[in-house]
Structure 1
Amino acid sequence: MKEYALYKGEEILAMGTADEIAKELNIKIETVLWYRTPSQIKRSKSDNCRILVPLDEDEDEVQI
């Protein structure tokens, strides 16, 4: 399973699979996965937005 880190600004909120993150933060798995969509990434310019970053990809592949 894919592992992720969920950030809010520069703070790490949670790490693990999307399911584990959803359970830890008491939110839906769809919400967790939405944090990785292009529309959410565009909104991530402020320090208050959450963004989901895959841990097993090369840094060059992650576009933030």
Structure 2
Amino acid sequence: MSTEYAVYKGEDLIVIGTKEECAEKMRVQPEYIYWLTMPTAKRRLASRKNPDKCTVAIKLGEG
């Protein structure tokens, strides 16, 4: 079973699915979806000028 992710751009939900499904929909690598859930990514995005408009991912759990 794969972990499910929810990807948001600001307040808008972009996609929900496995990292592979999310990556396919967003046309990025699956590793990018995983990286968005890491503490390093959250710190980098928080330091941006408009952090509320950043793309973020949340791990939902095992599917």
TM-score bin, normalised by smaller chain: 0.7 to 0.9
Identity %: 33
- Uncovered stretches (5+) of structure 1, i.e. residues with no partner: 58-64
Q: In structure 1, how many angstroms separate the alpha carbons of the residues matched to 2:23 and 2:57?
A: 12
Aligned residues: 57
> Which structure 1 residue ranges, 4+ long, deviate > 4 Å from structure 2?
none
RMSD value over aligned CA atoms? 1.6
- Where relative contact order (Cα < 8 A, 6+ residues apart) is larger, the structure is 2
TM-score, L = length of structure 2: 0.76
Determine which structure has the larger helix proportion and give its number.
2
TM-score, L = length of structure 1: 0.75
- Uncovered stretches (5+) of structure 2, i.e. residues with no partner: none
